């Protein structure tokens, strides 16, 4: 079965152009939605992915209608291929996994994208290692000791909620709980004689 997917970003936009192109391309069923591409929640795309059967071909007018990012595109294509289906873009002629050339091109682009991610990761690790060698630590600067001590005193008083304590001291909930748990563990270790 030939399935189509059409999407526009806002309610006021019109799907007609995409629907016409998908119908002309032989789509037997078209899933359409009006949702921004940055949203992970796209119910019609989810329905399309659930509907796919081996041998199906999914057609989109252009890849920007399908995916939010390159990484998202590769994940979607992988999902489609695992179900035994193919994908084709009308605008990006290289994106056509129904042909050996299209599969090769997609594999090359996927490889380049993975290579780029690996290089970024490697450079990040090298930069952190270099900074550590110079005595610098990564991450966010810690809260002043006085703010942490104040947060713990307020917590111990039992007069304030966690939300109130975080607002007054600027210590995040996560940090506050981490310090509370560390203190509890320290007390447990000292009472057990470790």
Q: Any idea which residues carry the catalytic annotation?
A: 9
Q: SS3 for 87-153, per residue?
A: EEECCCCCCECCCHHHHHHHHHHHHHHHHHHHHHHHHHHHHHHHHHHCCCCCCCCCCCHHHHHHHHH
Q: Are 79 and 31 in contact (CB under 8 A)?
A: no
Residue 133's contacts (CB-CB under 8 Å, 6 or more residues apart) are none
Q: 63 is written with which tokens?
A: 């890849």
Q: 39 is written with which tokens?
A: 């949203």
């Amino acid at each position: 079965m030939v399935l189509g997917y059409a999407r526009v970003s806002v309610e006021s936009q019109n799907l007609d152009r995409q629907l016409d192109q998908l119908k002309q391309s032989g789509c037997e069923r078209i899933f359409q939605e009006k949702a921004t591409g940055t949203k992970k929640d796209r119910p019609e795309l989810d329905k399309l992915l659930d509907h796919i059967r081996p041998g199906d071909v999914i057609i989109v007018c252009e890849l920007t209608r399908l995916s939010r990012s390159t990484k998202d595109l590769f994940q979607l294509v992988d999902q489609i291929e695992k179900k035994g289906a193919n994908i084709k873009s009308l605008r990006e002629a290289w994106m056509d996994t129904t042909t050996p050339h299209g599969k090769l091109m997609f594999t090359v682009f996927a490889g380049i994208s993975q290579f780029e991610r690996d290089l970024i990761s490697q450079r990040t690790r090298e930069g952190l290692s270099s900074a550590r060698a110079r005595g610098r630590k990564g991450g966010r600067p810690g809260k002043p000791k006085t703010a942490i001590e104040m947060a713990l005193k307020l917590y111990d008083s039992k007069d304030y909620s966690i939300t109130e304590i975080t607002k007054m001291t600027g210590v995040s909930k996560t940090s506050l709980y981490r310090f509370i748990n560390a203190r509890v563990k320290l007390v447990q270790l000292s009472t057990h004689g470790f």
